[in-house]
Amino acid sequence: MQFKDQLGFIGQHMKRNKLRVATTILAATMGCAFLIVLASVGFGLHKTLSDDILENRTVTKIEVPGKEDSDSVITPQEAEAMRGIPHVKAVAERSRPQAEGEARLGERSAYADLVFVQYGNEEKAGLALSDGAMPAAEGEVLVGYHFAQSLVTEEEQENAAEGEELDGFAGSLVGQTFEIELKPFEGEGEPVIREFTVAGVTEEPAKDWMMDSSIYADASWSKIIAKSLGTEETPREVLVYADELQYVEGITEKLKKDGYYVYSVTEELGSMNMFFTLLKAGLIFVGTIAILIASIGIFNTMTMAVTERTREIGVMKAIGAQPKLIQRLFLMESAAIGIIGTVLAVIISYGISMLANWLVPMIVMSSLGEEETGDFNILISVIPWQLVAISAAISIGVAMISGWRPARKATQIDVIQALRQEL
């Protein structure tokens, strides 16, 4: 029998028992929708937390604080070797003086977070400017976007203590010369005072809550200042930047293998992914129970269909239908119930998911007394295609298993007994 005719055949039978088939499809739909919606909560929370982690940091950045086997610093040669790892975009080396610093510009002063960097590598890693240019002359530095804001007068500082907002330095800092006084953390060395000129100001950080008030001086200053302070040069902090997020895991593994302490976003996501994988598997398991309950309905419907159609099956067998064909027709009918139920369930689940994602944050906000959801970007439910595929496979698979026994029963019908049945 041609496949098209088989479809027509089961379509005719389903039409003849509309109500029974419709209620069975409804049960299959409810079971499958329950599974999808339940598991979608796991997917939603996972996505919310993953996004939170990914949004709050530079995802392609891999921090390499040191080496596992010793306290030795990462040498420039080792940093150079890291540049050779495939898909490494840039390797930035940073260090800080072992001293507390204060920056002064006229009557304004600020806490000075002096960072020694290699401008070329920082540029490769994505450092961009909002004002000015990269330092070209000796004594030129870059300052963070919020550095100007942190330069305050004593009066402003007192007012800030009373709750007033800090205005900081108004106007452009580019071309301004300021001095830094560095006092060593340990020992009784004399403070060191140096003058620097602002060549450029870095770009505003991507997130509102991020502050960048650092002073970025060339790495050559590291030795000079350490000598002046009488302290040792601090170990370099190495930041490795990958081309894209997908390569972060591979580079992280390679660096670990090479004996470095490594910390990247994939490390943070790894343990969380494991937890959510287990949670999602658990939710899918619970949801599957609903489908199994629905399968009882499919089994009943198909058993009744076989019983009602005994005479017709007998006629078909008498005129030459293969037992396999009879079995296939009934299996297709139960699969059709599963497929229709799954399609409806997917549509309904997407609807419920959208409604939940719209409604739940509103309810939470109103319960917290807030009007706007603002940065509250929580996703209650997410339905990825993988969840749809898993649910469809379970739902249709269970429907076919439910139809298996009745279909077998149909093939075993005795033609003589069947033909004796009254119309």
Partner 1 sequence: MIEINTLSHSFAIGKKGNERKIPVLEEITLHVKQGEIAAILGKSGSGKSTLLNILAGFMVPESGVVAVGGQEISSLKESEMADFRLKNFGFIFQSFQLMPGLNAFENIELPLKIKGMKAPERRAVVEKLMMEVGLSEVASHYPNELSGGQQQRVSIARALITNPPVILADEPTGSLDSETEQEILDLIRSLNRNLGVTFVIITHDDEVAGIANRQYRLHDGKLVKGVQRHAI
Residue ranges binding partner 1 (CB under 8 A): 1-2, 4-5, 9, 12-13, 16, 311-312, 314-325, 414-416, 419, 423
We find the least distance from the C-beta atom of residue 401 to partner 1, in angstroms, to be 24
Which tokens go with 349?
A: 């689940």
Q: Are 119 and 135 in contact (CB under 8 A)?
A: yes
User: Residue 308 to residues 17, 257, 299, 333: CA-CA distances in angstroms?
Assistant: 11, 68, 14, 15
We find the least distance from the C-beta atom of residue 289 to partner 1, in angstroms, to be 36
Task: Report the 10 Å Cβ neighbour count for 399.
Answer: 33
We find the least distance from the C-beta atom of residue 417 to partner 1, in angstroms, to be 10
Write the CB contacts of 351 (distance below 8 Å, at least 6 apart in sequence): none
Nearer to partner 1 by Cβ, of 162 and 422: the residue is 422
Nearer to partner 1 by Cβ, of 91 and 418: the residue is 418
We find the least distance from the C-beta atom of residue 296 to partner 1, in angstroms, to be 27
Nearer to partner 1 by Cβ, of 49 and 325: the residue is 325
- Burial string for 94-111 (b: 16+ CB within 10 Å, else e) reads bbebbbebebbbeebbbe
Q: How far apart are CA 332 and CA 419, in angstroms?
A: 24
Q: Are 8 and 333 in contact (CB under 8 A)?
A: no
Nearer to partner 1 by Cβ, of 9 and 350: the residue is 9
We find the least distance from the C-beta atom of residue 324 to partner 1, in angstroms, to be 7
Q: How far apart are CA 305 and CA 137, in angstroms?
A: 89
Q: How far apart are CA 361 and CA 378, in angstroms?
A: 7
Q: Which helix (H) or strand (E) holds 180?
A: strand 177-184
User: Residue 396 to residues 9, 15, 291, 376: CA-CA distances in angstroms?
Assistant: 20, 20, 10, 38
We find the least distance from the C-beta atom of residue 274 to partner 1, in angstroms, to be 51
Nearest one of 344, 301, 335 to 20, comparing CA atoms: 301
Q: Could you give the 3-state DSSP secondary structure of residue 90?
A: strand
Q: C-alpha angle with apex 281: 275 to 283, nearest 5 degrees? A: 100
We find the least distance from the C-beta atom of residue 361 to partner 1, in angstroms, to be 52
Nearer to partner 1 by Cβ, of 3 and 385: the residue is 3
Nearer to partner 1 by Cβ, of 115 and 418: the residue is 418
Nearer to partner 1 by Cβ, of 208 and 422: the residue is 422
Nearer to partner 1 by Cβ, of 311 and 405: the residue is 311
We find the least distance from the C-beta atom of residue 315 to partner 1, in angstroms, to be 5
We find the least distance from the C-beta atom of residue 322 to partner 1, in angstroms, to be 5
Amino acid at 397: G
- Burial string for 260-282 (b: 16+ CB within 10 Å, else e) reads bebebbbeebeeeeeebeebbee
Nearest one of 249, 282, 244 to 264, comparing CA atoms: 249
Nearer to partner 1 by Cβ, of 12 and 70: the residue is 12
We find the least distance from the C-beta atom of residue 332 to partner 1, in angstroms, to be 15
Strand-strand pairing, 61-67 and 237-242? antiparallel
Nearer to partner 1 by Cβ, of 363 and 423: the residue is 423
